[in-house]
Amino acid sequence: MKKDFFDKVYSIVKRIPKGKVTTYGHIAEACGIKSSARTVGWALNSAKNSNLPCHRVVNRVGALTGKIHFGDIHLMEDLLKSEGIEFNEKGNVILEKHLWIPKKSKVSKI
DNA sequence: CAAGTGACTCAGT
DNA sequence: CACTGAGCCACTT
């Protein structure tokens, strides 16, 4: 499967604890492609059909850029608020409080 | 094989 | 402070 990279993204996104968020850049870094956060976003684009909490993935400033493709624009923000995520006056997630950095745990080669 | 696209990020103007 | 251009990687056409 060439989707080995996908697997890593999925594993990481799935492990985001409730009430926490992470950024594309951190996921990318944990996947070993820190230079390409876009690829992470693209991966999620294909993963949006999965049960991944993609609403917990935001860009580096905490903006919910993914909501555009997430479907319901307000749903994403609502889900985060339901989990205890706080937003600043700009409508961005307060990464200072809720940023969760994924561990570079190696994906078990099944 | 080459060019185009993308839910990002950084640096320059 | 806002906008643009370039760089990055993987996938599609």
Residues β-bridged to residue A87: A93
In a domain, A72, yes or no: yes
A45-55 tens-digit pLDDT: 988 888 899 99
How many angstroms is C1' of B3 away from CA of A21? 35
pLDDT in the model for residue A42:
92
In a domain, A25, yes or no: yes
Contact between the CB of A99 and strand C at under 7 Å:
no
In a domain, A105, yes or no: no
pLDDT in the model for residue A73:
82
- pLDDT for residue A15 is more than 80: yes
Tally of domains within chain A: 1
**Which residue places its CA closest to the C1' of nucleotide B10?**
A35
In a domain, A20, yes or no: yes
Q: Which CATH number is A69's domain given?
A: 1.10.10.10
How far is residue A55 from each of residues A4, A13, A33, A85, measured CA to CA in Å? 22, 10, 21, 11
- Residues 13-42 on chain A lying near strand B, CB distance under 7 A: 23-25, 36-42
The pLDDT > 70 percentage for chain A reads 92
Range(s) of the domain holding residue A47 = 4-98
Who's near A72: CB < 8 A, 6+ residues apart? none
